[in-house]
Structure 1
Amino acid sequence: MISVLFVCLGNICRSPMAEAVLRHQLREEGLDDRVRVDSAGTGGWHAGEPPHHGTRSLLAERGISDKGIRARQIEKKDLSEFDYIIVMDESNYRDVNRLAEETGARVHRLVDFIPESRYKEVPDPYYTGDFEETYSLVESGCRGIIRMLREREDL
C-alpha cells in the first residue's frame, strides 16, 4: 500500500483538508484501498483537536467527510513510514527536511503537483481567512498527486 502524509503548521486547516480531499478523490477513483492518507503538523498545539471549523464547514459543503481526522504532531517515525511527505509551505518544508536528514526521506511541496501554478506555497487560512483559496489549491494538488501516483506507482 502506498502512503501519503500531508504536513502543515498546526494540522487543523490545510493538511487535514488535504487528507480529507485526497481520501475523497481516491474513493471516487476506486483507489482508496491502495493508498493510505494521513496528516500532521510541525507543531503540537492542537493535538487531538478536530479540523478548524472553517475547514470542516467547507468540506461539508462539498460532501467531503473529515470523520476521524484529529490533529497530531509529526514524528520522526513518520518519515520512514510514509512514501510521500507533502508539505504546505516553505517553513514546513525546512522543518520537515531538518527532521528528515537522518532518514533520507524525500519531502515534496503540494504546489509542485499543480501544473503551472503561480503559487509557491499554500496560504494558511488560519491567518488569511480564505478557506476557498486554500481548497482550490488543495483540490488541484490532490488531483496532481493522483496523476503522479498513477504514473509512478502504476495504480
Structure 2
Amino acid sequence: MTKVLFVCLGNICRSTMAEAVFRDKVEKAGLSADIQISSAATGSWNLGDAPHKGTAELLDSKGISYKGIYSTKITDEEFEEYDYIIGMDESNLVNLKKLSPNPVFNSKIHLLLSESIGEERTEVPDPYYTGDFNLTYKLVDMGTDKWLNKIREELKKG
C-alpha cells in the first residue's frame, strides 16, 4: 500500500482539494485498495474545520466528494507512516522539514507540481488569499494526474 499525504498551511483549501481530487481519481482507476490518501496542515488555525467554502463549491461543481475531510495538523507519526508527503508550495516544504521529527523523513517531502514536467509553475497559490479556486483546481488536477501516473508505475513494478 502506498500512502500519500497532501499538506498546506491550514488544510482547508489546497490540500483538502488535492485529497478529494486524488481520492476521486484513485477510485476511478480502481486503486483504492492500493493507495491510501489523506491531508494535513502545517499550522493549527483551522483544526476540525471542513474545507473552505470556495473549495467545497468547486468540488461540488465537479461532482467530487469531500465527505469526511476535516482539517488536521500533521503528526510525527504521519512523517513515518506516509510514503509521500506532498506540499503545495515552498513555504509548506520549509515548514514540513522544520516539523519533521527526523531528517531521514525529508526524502518523502515533495512539491505537488514537482512531477509536472513542462509546467512553468512550481507552486500552487493559496486561494484563501488569491480567491482563485479555479486556478488552484487546474494545478491540483494536473499535479494529481502526474502523481497518480508515478504511483501507478511504482505499483506495477512492486
TM-score (norm 1): 0.96
Partner of 1:115: 117
Contact 2:19 2:37 in 1 (8 A): yes
Once residues 116 and 144 of structure 2 are traced to their aligned partners in structure 1, the CA distance between those partners, rounded to angstroms, is 8
Q: 1:53-80 deviations in whole A, cap 9, x for unaligned?
A: 0000000000000000000111111100
Q: Which runs of 5+ in 1 are unaligned?
A: none
Instruction: Report runs of 4+ in structure 1 exceeding 6 Å deviation.
Output: none
**RMSD across aligned C-alpha pairs, in angstroms?**
1.2
Q: Which digits, 9 at most, give the CA deviation of each residue in 1:26-77, with x for residues without a partner? A: 1111111211100000001100010000000000000000000000111111
Aligned to 1:98: 98
> Contact 1:80/1:103 (CA < 8 Å) preserved in 2?
no
Alpha-carbon separation, structure 1, partners of 2:26 and 2:34: 9
Corresponding residue SS for 1:6 = strand
Corresponding residue of 1:19: 19
Q: 3-state DSSP class of the match of 1:21?
A: helix
> Would the aligned equivalents of 2:19 and 2:38 in 1 still touch at CA under 8 Å?
yes
* 8 Å CA contact retained: 2:16, 2:51: yes
Contact 1:21 1:139 in 2 (8 A): yes
Consecutive unaligned residues in structure 2, runs of 5 or more = none
> Which whole-Å deviations, capped at 9, do the CAs of 1:57-109 have from their partners, x for residues lacking one?
00000000000000011111110010110000111101111223615112000
2:20 counterpart SS class: helix
The CA deviation at 1:113 is: 1.9
Count residues in correspondence: 155
Q: Are residues 1:34 and 2:51 paired? A: no
The answer to whether the 8 A contact 2:97-2:103 is kept is no
Q: Which residue of 1 aligns with 2:51?
A: 51
In the alignment, the residues of structure 2 paired with residue 120 and residue 31 of structure 1 have an alpha-carbon distance, to the nearest angstrom, of 27
- Partner letter of residue 57 of structure 1? E
Give the share of equivalent positions with the same residue, in percent: 46
The answer to whether the 8 Å contact 1:79/1:103 transfers is no
**Structure-1 separation of matches of 2:110 and 2:66:** 23
- Report what 1:154 is aligned to: 156
Aligned to 1:141: 143
2:131 corresponds to which residue? Answer: 129
Q: Secondary structure at the match of 2:140?
A: helix
